[in-house]
């Protein structure tokens, strides 16, 4: 599909920012497992945060396609930095969908302007792909709720100013899926504790942590959506947030492809550049075709969501495929580098490391395939 002039400008601006601000410090941040918050602030100043959020609430009033373009260009340089930036408004999709007017004004504006960071707390030690096994509770009080439980693999556990937490509010509900609600929990409330998960394979500079809610009291106004609709809220959220993961996948694949092309043009073996080898040429052709197909998939699906055409199976296909080609293309990029591919100084191995997590978070590739199969077969 053809991008509009405005969309091309957004894509070019994101590329310019990524190349100018991320490239020189990406490997240092990856090695130190730290993020430079100045990058987030600059991204906010340039209007890259939550572009799909309505202008009334601090966003740019654009769409998920524009957001996908930004994710792609950021991840082309470094997926870890890209994730550290885009994750700060991870959850604005849900607030935009079901939040009250007061919640939208309070939370969306501050996040889009770079005044606050957020996250979404779903996963628990015994509840990963099986979201309905979440055990964190939110017991009702006269003034609100008391949240108790533990979460793990939570992005921005140590950075966020508030989290959207999936928890049990209606344990007596007959249907298992009707027991959950989504509640906003500010991280400065007494009883909130977080610790950082270190030495990850992927997105090392992005904060991932464990969270303990030790009888955290929140007011009733922090309920996001209706009681008993939490599970369904999260499913609707994932149907939009998976496009972000797909954008990161396409950007990661594109970055790895460019590294491979640059290397085989320069590297000589058997008296000639690797680029002269028919085997290398076919590998590059296959890699480029996968990336272009994935990009078309991403743009088309994002545009459909912007038109209100929400196809759960199509979104799952897009995320699964984008993550898979990110792994495949980055793997081939390392292979084309030979022994140099496993050396960090050649700046290519991180693409594979970062790509791998894309097949896991936002729904594993196995879960994505289940969504697709059940949708097509009416199960």
Q: How far apart are CA 115 and CA 186, in angstroms?
A: 14
Q: How far apart are CA 160 and CA 155, in angstroms?
A: 9
Confirm if 355 and 327 have CB atoms less than 8 A apart. yes
Half-sphere exposure of 269 toward its Cβ, with a 13 Å CA cutoff? Answer: 13
SS3 36: coil
Q: How far apart are CA 312 and CA 371, in angstroms?
A: 8
Confirm if 50 and 58 have CB atoms less than 8 A apart. yes
Print burial letters for 68-103: b (CB count within 10 Å at least 16), e (below 16). bbbbbbbbbbbbbbbbbbbbbbbbbbbbbebbeeeb
Q: Quick one: DSSP state of residue 127?
A: B
Q: Where are the beta strands (DSSP E) in the chain?
A: 118-121, 137-140, 144-155, 162-168, 180-186, 192-196, 208-219, 223-224, 268-269, 272-273
**Active-site residue among 72, 324, 332, 362?**
362
Tokens read off for 54: 């309505």
Active site residue 236: no
Place of tokens 């699964």: 320
Intra-chain end-to-end CA distance of the chain, in Å: 32
Half-sphere exposure of 275 toward its Cβ, with a 13 Å CA cutoff? Answer: 10
Question: Of 89, 77, 93, which is closest to residue 24 (Cα–Cα)?
Answer: 77
Q: Report, as residue numbers or ranges, the catalytic residues.
A: 362
């Amino acid at each position: 599909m053809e991008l509009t002039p405005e969309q091309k400008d957004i894509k070019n601006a994101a590329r310019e920012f990524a190349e100018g601000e991320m490239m020189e410090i990406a490997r240092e941040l990856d090695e130190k497992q730290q993020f430079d918050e100045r990058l987030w602030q600059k991204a906010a100043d340039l209007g890259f945060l939550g572009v799909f959020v309505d202008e009334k609430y601090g966003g740019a009033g654009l769409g998920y396609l524009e957001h996908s373009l930004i994710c792609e260009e950021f991840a082309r340089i470094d997926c870890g930095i890209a994730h550290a930036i885009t994750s700060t408004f991870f959850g604005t999709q849900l607030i935009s969908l079901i939040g009250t007017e007061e919640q939208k004004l309070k939370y969306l504006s501050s996040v889009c302007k770079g005044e606050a960071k957020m996250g979404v707390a779903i996963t628990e030690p015994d509840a990963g792909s099986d979201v309905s096994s979440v055990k964190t509770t939110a017991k009702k009080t006269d003034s609100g709720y008391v949240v108790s439980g533990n979460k793990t693999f939570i992005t921005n556990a140590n950075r966020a100013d508030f989290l959207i937490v999936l928890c049990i509010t209606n344990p007596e509900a007959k249907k298992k899926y009707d027991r959950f609600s989504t509640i906003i929990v500010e991280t400065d409330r007494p009883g909130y504790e977080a610790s950082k998960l270190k030495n990850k394979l992927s997105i090392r500079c992005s904060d991932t942590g464990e969270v303990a809610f030790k009888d955290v009291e929140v007011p009733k106004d922090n309920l996001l959506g209706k009681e008993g609709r939490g599970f369904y809220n999260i499913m609707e959220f994932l149907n939009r947030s998976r496009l972000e993961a797909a954008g990161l996948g396409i950007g990661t694949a594109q970055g790895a492809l460019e590294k491979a092309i640059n290397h085989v043009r320069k590297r000589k073996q058997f008296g000639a550049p690797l680029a002269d080898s028919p085997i290398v040429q076919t590998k590059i052709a296959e890699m480029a075709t996968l990336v272009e197909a994935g990009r078309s998939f991403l743009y088309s699906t994002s545009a459909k969501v912007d038109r209100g055409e929400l196809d759960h199976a199509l979104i799952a296909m897009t995320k699964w495929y984008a993550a898979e080609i990110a792994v495949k293309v980055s793997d081939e990029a390392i292979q084309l580098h030979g022994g140099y591919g496993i050396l960090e100084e050649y700046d290519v191995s991180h693409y594979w490391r970062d790509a791998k997590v894309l097949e896991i978070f936002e729904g594993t590739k196995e879960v994505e395939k289940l969504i697709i199969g059940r949708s097509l077969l009416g199960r």
